[in-house]
Amino acid sequence: MTQLDITGMTCESCAAHVKHALEQVPGVRAAEVSYAQGSARFALDAGVSPDALIAAVTGLGYRARLADTPSRQTQGGFLGTVRESAPPKAISGHGARGLHIAILGSGAAAMAAALKATEDGARVTLIERGTLGGTCVNVGCVPSKILIRAAHIAHLRRVSPFDIGLPPTPPTVLRERLLAQQRSRVDELRQCKYESVLAGNPHITVLHGEARFRDGHSLTVRLNAGGEQMVAFDRCLIATGASAAVPPIPGIEDTPYWTSTEALASNAIPERLAVIGSSVVSVEIAQAFARLGSRVTILARSTLLFREDPAIGEALTAAFRAEDIEVLEHTEASRITHRDGEFMLTIPSGERRAERLLIATGRAPNTRSLALEAAGVALNGQGAIQVDSTMRTCAEGIYAAGDCTDQPQFVYVAAAAGTRAAINMTGGDATLDLTTLPRVIFTDPQVATVGFSEQAAHHQGIETDCRTLTLDNVPRALVNFDTRGFIKMVAEAGTGRLLGVQAVAPEAGELIQAAALAIHHRMTVTDLSSQLFPYLTMVEGLKLAAQTFSKDVKQLSCCAG
């Protein structure tokens, strides 16, 4: 037997974690760890590196060294030299062998960072207080898009542009079965893309618990299984995401309101659903529940999607009202009560009653419980961590990415930010450019935008030349017998350089990336109009919209070049 001296263990649970970590090191046949004695004894195969033993312990946040022995022995892997865990390392150049990075969270930003950091030689301790995978796979993007797709199928069975030849057959909605299908796919993706990936990476240690900063180089983790553990780090990434924000409406705290999490997990479709909010989550879930059978009322403090080009909100409101979704604009509830299984919302015009109430008024960063002040990490007025384009916070060695920061709350932004943070934490130099950020809202018709709106360009002092193409000019929309929506192009006056695109159209999300690439490569509308686009696709609408800057597309043949 040989022995490690270990400091920092605070309970027998700590010892159990150390034992498990040591026994994962290749060549360790057995380990005995004593919290009382602060030591670990184990049997080793020949050639086991002392650095591997120490790294296994320090990766959990403890300090370790090989106990003194009189001589260095190679047989059996016994080593008498003393090696102690080092203080935070300064690195130069890309690559960071032995660097220890702590990551708070396990969603898109955290996973991208963990995998990239280990590729570059770092050891990672990933700390998650809840379910692995974060918001997107568990309670956000994946389950919501499953719900939306199911609702779309239900809607098409009830009504479609082809009812004259394909008589509608109103569906029976078995919500419990739809929910089981949804949960099954969520569980499958979480296991495949998160749990198994983490379990299969020997350079990542996962701690299940809630972390708080002790100072700028260490964390205290309150373990879910009981006890606490200290984790020292060379670099740290905060990727704790965000949670639903609830407005301070009188009476709301005493009611069983839904956030999107409860709505997506509901095993029943309410007869009446009231929705407070007018942005992405509210409009997506409101339309899905309406198509599955709820009578839906949306209370919008301003208008739907009021931060976008006004034409977008107008088009979506018209589409919703055509589906008998009640949209109350410039309306706020002054009080909410719940009695006998029913919500009552007091509004200026009287009241609205509903079996369920969804609150979808935005998301707040998960930063309050982290004791960020101990590490000197600054927040903005909304509680989001302030980062620069490299994901650095104002605290040396501490980075942040994803929805807990002041960057846009999109999962693909979080993943890109996590990757760049890992590159920078391991000695590289990477930035995140958000000037060409495509965005999609999964209503029907979909909303997709990229670059400047006309109003945003003017706010920046940019003179614009804009064109709007209605979908009755797009052959794909005509053959679909669905011409709801438009494609609007914003170009720079004089040069014709494409600055932005806003689209309201079925499958708008499938065309917006082509617009993003055109903007990124500084194409003009003339450049875009001369490109080859496949006929009878929705993306061909981009070419037609570009052609409107120089032609009357109504006077062109179907696929005029």
Would you give the DSSP letter of residue 217?
T
Q: How far is Cα 222 from Cα 209, in angstroms, rounded to an integer?
A: 5
Q: Please say whether the beta carbons of 56 and 204 come within 8 A.
A: no
**Of 11, 35, 412, 466, which residue is the catalytic one?**
11
404: annotated active-site residue: no
**Of 1, 192, 394, 559, which residue is the catalytic one?**
559
DSSP 3-state percent helix, strand, coil across the chain (nearest 5): 35, 25, 40
**Of 9, 111, 425, 489, which residue is the catalytic one?**
9
The number of helix segments (H) and strand segments (E) in the chain equals: 16, 25
**Of 1, 35, 111, 141, which residue is the catalytic one?**
141
Rg (CA), the chain: 28
Amino acid at 536: L
**Of 111, 136, 230, 523, which residue is the catalytic one?**
136
H or E element: which one contains 446?
strand 446-451
User: Residue 14, CB half-sphere, CA atoms under 13 Å: how many?
Assistant: 28
230: annotated active-site residue: no
In DSSP notation, 339-405 reads ETTEEEEEETTEEEEESEEEE-S-EEES-GGG-GGGTT--B-TTSPBP--TT-B-SSTTEEE-STTB
Strands laid side by side in the 446-451 sheet: 439-441, 446-451, 498-505, 486-492, 464-470
136: annotated active-site residue: yes
Q: Furthest-apart CA pair in the chain: how many Å?
A: 94
559: annotated active-site residue: yes
Helix-helix angle 508-520:540-547, to 10 degrees: 60
**Of 62, 194, 257, 399, which residue is the catalytic one?**
62
Amino acid at 181: Q
192: annotated active-site residue: no
Pairing type for strands 235-238 and 398-400 reads parallel
9: annotated active-site residue: yes
Token couple for 56: 């296994």
Q: Which residue has the tokens 């009189």?
A: 70
Active site residue ranges: 9, 11, 14, 62, 136, 141, 558-559
